[in-house]
Structure 1
Amino acid sequence: MSWLAPRTLTARSLAGQFLVFQVLVVAVVLGAVAAVSVAQSTQEFREVRGQRMIAVAENLASTPIVRERYADPVASMVLAPDVDRAVALSGARLVEISGPDGVVRASSDPARVGRQVDFGPSLVVRGRAWAGDVDVAQDGTGVHSLIGQVPILSIDGAVLAVVSVSEPYPSTWQLLGGAGERLLVYLGLGAALGVLTSWLLSRRIKRHTRGLEVAEIAGLADHREALLHSIREGVVAVNTDGVITLLNDSAQELLGLEADAVGRHLDAVDLDPAVSAFLLSGDEGRDVVITTSTRVLALNRRAASTRGKRIGTVTTMRDSTELASMQGQLSSHKSVTDTLRAQTHEFANQLHTISGLVQLGEYDAVRSLVGTLTRRRAEISDAVTRHVSDPAVAALLIAKTSLAAESGVALEIDEDSHLAALDPALATDVITVLGNLIDNAVDVSEGSGRAVVRVAVNDGDGLTISVADSGPGVPDDMRESIFARGITSKPEVPGGRGIGLALVRLVSTQLGGSVRVSDGSVGGAVFDVRLPSQVSTGAAADA
């Protein structure tokens, strides 16, 4: 991992960061639970104890002795038993009896007698009972307390005195403890379990990330993307469900796909059927050459697995179009060589015959044989050149006629054929197409009942080439796959088969045309190649 930045000792690991984050989350959750619990307990204390304070104050205010002696100069001593009893019954911290002017006349805290109190927002001076929050001064400090106040009224409704019963708010810990008998235990257990779970989860993350940190994982991803998209070979990864999981730039170009093909099933993208079938097949570990409509691709498929579990396949591909074209040219040269060999063999036999006749003195027979051979050669040349004006194509047909005859197959030119002179580049492509179709037709026709191959070439409406054979024909289920490299309807022979028809489709497609196969009228197969009119028109204009 030399391309990754080295770790620093002070940098916290990914697992450590996750642990701290989780602990913080647990702490926040526990704090929120505690806050809600405290708020609920405070609200409950205010509602329940507030009513209790008012009830105690009302009870004390209604006591006859309080109503009679509240204004007595020694009221603090006379009413002390009743005040202390109110404290004992209510559990309040402070019980006081004050005058309307706020001066304390009796109190459970004798030190407060004679002090001035501020009723604040209380409505008790208006003759109404009131409960609320106040700060009660005790021991030199203000204690936030809940207080209930009830007025002592005269017959005419005037406020004679005020009875106050107050109790300090409990502390946060007291509120938490009062919220539930085991709330603190539950919070502690929750915190412990949260920390433990966070620690285990951080360990699991560290194990699954192979101990890599965030920067290293990002570096690996960037490095992987750079490698995959910069190599010349195409790379396609497909998972076990047939969904494309990876597609680099070269593969997109070779297969004619867009980047959005990633994540889609092979059947849902515009992919050549032969390539799609290969990607879904079980072929692994060997090179397979497939010809699409525009390219010749060499593919190799390997299984991909992790920790012993198969996760899909990875297919690499190379563009072999130029190589296939060169092979087609070599095939054409081989065809010419075979033709010359056949003609050499034929001429050798004829020369031996002439030599023997000369030695025997049969000069009339020599003249007759030479005349017959000349006429036969002239007939073959005339049968071709009468319909085909392009010299390269005509030479090919003449040579193929002799080569087919050596195999016992008659090569016939359709009487309606017509081909004007072509541009040299187009003539080369036509020779490739026509030569491969004729070779294929001769091979399948050899040994048939009436071994014949019929060729039709016409440049009237575009450029059409038709080659019919007397062979067994092409099965319906092979009429598309037969044009893929390595696919053939013929028996296997040394050197392999299938390249000829692949080149025919490749060349035809590159010229903007098409090729198809159908059944012949008297058996065998018919291969029809159609090229657009601008091809032949442009060639004729150049000529």
Structure 2
Amino acid sequence: MRRLVNASLGTQFFVLQTVIVFLAVGGTAAVWMEHTRELLDWQYQQRALAIAESVAGLPQVREAFSRARPELSLQPIAVGVQAATGADYVVIANRDQIRYAHPNTALIGKRLSTDGSQVMTDGRPWTGIQTGTLGRSVRGKAPIFDSAGKVIGLASVGILEETVADQLSVALPPLFWTVLAVLVAGSAAAALIAQRVRRQTFGLEPAEIAALLEQREGVLHGVKEGVLALDLAGRVTLVNDAARDLLGLSQHDVGRSLGEMRLSDRMRDVLDGADPGDDRVVLHCDRVLVLNRTPVAVRDRQSGWVVTLRDRTELVRLARELDQASTTTGALRAQAHEFANRMHTVVGLLELGEYETAVSYITQTTEAYSRHAAGVREKVADPTLAALLLAKSAEAAERGATLVLSDDSRVEEGMIGDPHDAVLVVGNLVANALDALQESGGTVEVSVRTEADGLHIRVGDSGPGITPSLVHEVFLEGFTTKVAHAGPRGLGLALTRQTCSRRGGWVRVHNAGGAVFTALLPTGEPPPSPEGEPAGPGEPAERQVRR
């Protein structure tokens, strides 16, 4: 047994299956033999009974019972029937069970060795197996009636068990060869199955398979990137811990199709291959995910797909902070450049001795900047948003453009909710408007005002506008008309839409002498929303497909 346990998987399969085939065939053969023996016993019992009833029905037998010495007439009749039918013995006895005929003449006149009173009493035939003076035999007994219908004796016919056994032995050779053929075929089938198991397990033993499974589980659940596997029908077959955390899934989602899971249309399109490609950017709840979908082939046959998910939320946040820092740096650089020009002008005037002109120039310049900053602070009381607009104004001036804060702008301090959200929305919309001018100059008009339902934002530019067919697509993650470079692109407007939707607001765009973006950013607590980033009120819930 220990050798079998330590044997290879194929050998164990072969030995166990061979044993199972042997037990099954041996058990079947034993049942067949027992059934055949019982059938032969029944057949010989019926044969013996038929002979006994024939003897009991002979008129000569009934007449012999009325004579003085019936054995003289019955013995020849019994011997003749025995020889004619092939029975091993034919016995005739009277009602007192005294033999009148027997193969052993010495027993004539003696009492039967087996009880026949049941036949005498009931007057009905009997069959069974008994052991008598000639040995164990299959017997049939029939009552003998006189002309009045009274039982006057019995006829007993027997066939020895050796005769039945000889008949059974005749049927054994075909059974033996059949069993042998089945054993050979079963062993061959067991060998083929063992060979197939070796191929399917790549020759690995159970301990090696278990070790590989443990290693796979350890690797899958140990990596920080999310891993999600799909079969050809689009059902989830595997999800590691990182993917569950990123997508908000559970172990119960394994085996479910993508259509049954609470995912955004954009996420579902990337997962099922409707949006193919590498490094697909998807916004899921508050996270920025990068997905890659790769086919999985086993033995040159595709068996499904594996999707890796990387969390780039922190990277995008840092990129936004870097953009903001770059904007501030650009504004400072523009101001420094402008200040240097003004200082050169002042120095020149002083060198020329135009002292009064220099003083007048400095006064006008200072008052102009102060009036601009005061005008912004008068309309926008929130310092964070006001600082952003001043920085964007300086950036626009450096690009040769003009940023105008509309007269209807009114922002009360403390009425914009989370300033980070307001800065994100306004900053992205203004940056998008400046990019639309394409360094050719122009005007960006910004309107920000707080009302009872939140912060209303309108940003328009004098650029070429947006193609009508792309009005909805500009808000999709990954969509961009800019030249690609390192880092995630096409996220600014998508993040703007996500931020507005998360707070229960909306963002829209239309053309009016250029692109005009309008947005509502509610100032209250964000309403609970189902997983999958649903569209906000008034926002088209178009299918999110990255172009």
Tell me the TM-score normalised to structure 2 length.
0.81
Conserved? CA contact 1:325–1:503, under 8 Å = no
Change over 3 Å in CA distance of 1:321–1:494 after alignment to 2: closer
Conserved? CA contact 2:417–2:524, under 8 Å = no
Change over 3 Å in CA distance of 1:424–1:473 after alignment to 2: closer
**Cα-to-partner distance string for 1:188-237 (whole Å, 9 max, x where unaligned):** 43333223212321222233223444455344434433432343321111
Change over 3 Å in CA distance of 1:193–1:25 after alignment to 2: same
Equivalent residue for 1:160? 152
Say yes or no: does 1:125 pair with 2:120: yes
Say yes or no: does 1:524 pair with 2:524: no
SS at match of 1:533: coil
Conserved? CA contact 1:272–1:292, under 8 Å = yes
Letter of the 2:406 counterpart: D
SS at match of 2:158: strand
State the distance in 1 between where 2:432 and 2:187 align. Answer: 77
Say yes or no: does 1:258 pair with 2:253: no
Say yes or no: does 1:136 pair with 2:131: yes
The CA deviation at 1:375 is 4.3
Out of 319, 323, 336, which is 1:331 matched to?
323
Equivalent residue for 1:399? 391
Change over 3 Å in CA distance of 1:481–1:383 after alignment to 2: same
The CA deviation at 1:251 is 0.4
Say yes or no: does 1:322 pair with 2:314: yes
Conserved? CA contact 1:463–1:533, under 8 Å = no
How do 1:203-222 and structure 2 match up within 5 A? 203-222=195-214
Equivalent residue for 1:388? 380
State the distance in 1 between where 2:259 and 2:244 align. Answer: 16
How do 1:59-98 and structure 2 match up within 5 A? 59-69=54-64, 79-98=74-93
Change over 3 Å in CA distance of 1:340–1:499 after alignment to 2: farther
The CA deviation at 1:393 is 1.8
SS at match of 2:408: coil
Gaps of 5+ in 1: 1-6, 536-543
State the distance in 2 between where 1:395 and 1:173 align. Answer: 115
**Cα-to-partner distance string for 1:275-327 (whole Å, 9 max, x where unaligned):** 33333349999545433331022334443222232322323323222232222
Out of 267, 273, 288, which is 1:296 matched to?
288
Conserved? CA contact 2:471–2:510, under 8 Å = no
Equivalent residue for 2:537? none
Conserved? CA contact 1:444–1:490, under 8 Å = no
How do 1:478-517 and structure 2 match up within 5 A? 479=472, 482-484=475-477, 486-492=478-484, 497-504=489-496, 512=503, 515-517=506-508
Change over 3 Å in CA distance of 1:345–1:493 after alignment to 2: farther
Larger CA deviation: 165-174 vs 254-263: 165-174
Two-structure CA RMSD over aligned residues (Å): 3.8
The CA deviation at 1:126 is 3.0
Larger CA deviation: 45-54 vs 321-330: 45-54
Letter of the 2:433 counterpart: A
How do 1:184-263 and structure 2 match up within 5 A? 184-263=176-255
Conserved? CA contact 1:177–1:184, under 8 Å = no
Conserved? CA contact 1:274–1:292, under 8 Å = no
Letter of the 1:54 counterpart: L
Equivalent residue for 2:531? none
The CA deviation at 1:249 is 1.7
Letter of the 1:303 counterpart: P
State the distance in 2 between where 1:219 and 1:128 align. Answer: 79
The CA deviation at 1:396 is 1.6
The CA deviation at 1:344 is 1.9
State the distance in 2 between where 1:171 and 1:368 align. Answer: 142
Equivalent residue for 1:539? none
How do 1:437-452 and structure 2 match up within 5 A? 437-446=429-438, 451-452=443-444
State the distance in 2 between where 1:525 and 1:176 align. Answer: 104
The CA deviation at 1:56 is 1.7
Say yes or no: does 1:54 pair with 2:49: yes
Gaps of 5+ in 2: 527-547
Change over 3 Å in CA distance of 1:407–1:8 after alignment to 2: farther
The CA deviation at 1:370 is 4.0
Q: Percent identity?
A: 33
The CA deviation at 1:404 is 1.2
Larger CA deviation: 273-282 vs 166-175: 166-175
Letter of the 2:92 counterpart: I
Change over 3 Å in CA distance of 1:260–1:494 after alignment to 2: closer
Aligned residues: 523
The CA deviation at 1:247 is 0.5
Conserved? CA contact 1:295–1:321, under 8 Å = yes
